[in-house]
Amino acid sequence: MAEFIDEFFQLIDPFLGIIQLVLFLVISFIIFSILLKLLQRRLLKKVKTKQQVSNVTAFLDLLKFLFVIFLIMIAFSAYYGQWGEVGFIAGLITIALGWSLQKPISGVVAWLILVTRRPFHIGDRVIISNIKGDIENITLTHIFLDEVGGTIDGEESSGRWVMIPNSIIFEEEVINYTYKDEYILDEVVTAITYESNLEKAEEIIKKAVSKIMESAWEKYPKRITKEPHTRLMFKDSGIDIKVRYYTIATKRNAYATKIMREIWNQIRKNDDIEFAYPHTEVLLKRKDR
């Protein structure tokens, strides 16, 4: 029996290195597959849309491709050279890939952060690199925005889609209008003359806001205040009455327009309140002789 074992080991001795290499590759592949499955489950719990699921699949395929390349590199180096050369070759390949694919790789890393950390979701209104819009899609390399404003001075959809590289989140600030909820503080400014009844004007303006916002306020959570408040500022031509209130971020302009129209209609009914505007008056005094 002992002779048989010796003969067996002598027989496989020339192939021992290859057998060890194959075992190493198989074990590495099994461990990688288990880790990939765990990562896949975690990512799929974070995504919701079909497009996001597709992005996860593409990302995992990319990891598989890179791992296979890495295994081939190890097998080639181990079979034809020394194990110590693996680190050197890996370093050269890493530098080459990092230099040539810097933006795409950073975009994929940024996508991974977006999926796991969730600084914004599909449908959120954001400002990224001074571009305002609603998030329509987040792919493996780009963020797609339905632009707000852009061609107009306001917060309505311009009809244009903006494609922004994911990697920009490492370089620019991101402002999310709706990270916690869909409500933001807005204000409407009304200028009245110094001769106007200020207290009465404030009451009219606050009532105008309450009238327009009443239907929306019914759906507000308790922590969001439903009472408008005013702030005043002296100007050369009159007093600016700033009424501030919480509104729905995506309907900000629509509500503000209705409020301004209501303020206009109500103030025009009062003789003791006048709108202020920049103008010049010439007062002539009669000189008694």
Domain, as residue range, for 210:
183-267
Residue 158 resides in a domain:
yes
**What is the per-residue pLDDT for 270?**
94
CB distance 157 to 147 below 8 Å: yes
CATH number at residue 246: 3.30.70.100
Token pair belonging to 265: 């209609």
Q: Please give the tally of structural domains in the chain.
A: 3
Query: pTM here?
Result: 0.66
Closest CA to 208 of 260, 154, 284, 159: 260
Answer yes or no: do 141 and 226 share one domain. Answer: no
Sequential pLDDT tens for the chain (289 residues): 555 555 544 554 555 566 666 777 788 888 888 888 888 888 878 776 666 676 777 777 777 877 777 777 777 666 655 545 555 555 656 666 555 556 777 777 888 888 777 888 888 999 998 899 999 888 878 899 999 988 888 888 899 999 999 889 888 889 998 888 889 999 999 999 999 999 999 999 999 999 999 999 988 998 899 999 999 999 988 999 999 999 999 899 999 999 999 999 999 999 999 999 887 777 677 766 5
Residue 248 resides in a domain:
yes
Cα–Cα distance measured from residue 262 to residue 246, given in angstroms and rounded to the nearest whole number: 17
Residue 278 resides in a domain:
no
CB distance 177 to 232 below 8 Å: no
**What is the per-residue pLDDT for 216?**
92
